[in-house]
Amino acid sequence: MDDNEREYFRQQLAALDGARRRWRLATFVLLGAIGLFLLMSTGTLLTFGLFQTQRLREARAAEQEARAQAQIVEQLRQAEQRARDQAEKAEAVAREQVDKALQEARRPKKETEQETKAGDKKKSNK
């Protein structure tokens, strides 16, 4: 080997050594970028999971609250219906009493006195 060849091989070795250093640097930079990406994606997923869990809990609580309110509304509706039924019954009883009173007021006085005496006799017989 002559000096020219040796010099050529030294230059080649220097060039290859420089290329190897650049590839190592690129490898470490890319490895760091991948590590950073994995770290950030893991953090994002954990944060998203926590927020989803919190939203799910809030949704469940809102659903339970809505169900409780619906149950209260249903109970109030039933109570209102019972009150209406009682009012209708009371109105019917009151109308009957008014009708009886009007009928008695329209009867001749003699029939009323006779019925009163008959009622008194029945009470005294007992």
Over residues 21-80, the pLDDT tens digits come to 999 999 999 999 999 999 999 999 999 999 999 999 999 999 999 999 999 999 999 999
Cα–Cα distance, 122 to 49 (Å, whole number):
87
* pLDDT at site 1: 73
Q: What single letter denotes the amino acid at residue 109? A: K
CB 104 within 8 A of CB 112: yes
Query: Predicted confidence band at 91 (pLDDT cuts at 50, 70, 90)?
Result: very high
Q: Which candidate, 79, 20, 13, places its Cα nearest to that of 5?
A: 13
Its pTM stands at 0.48
Cα–Cα distance, 107 to 30 (Å, whole number):
113
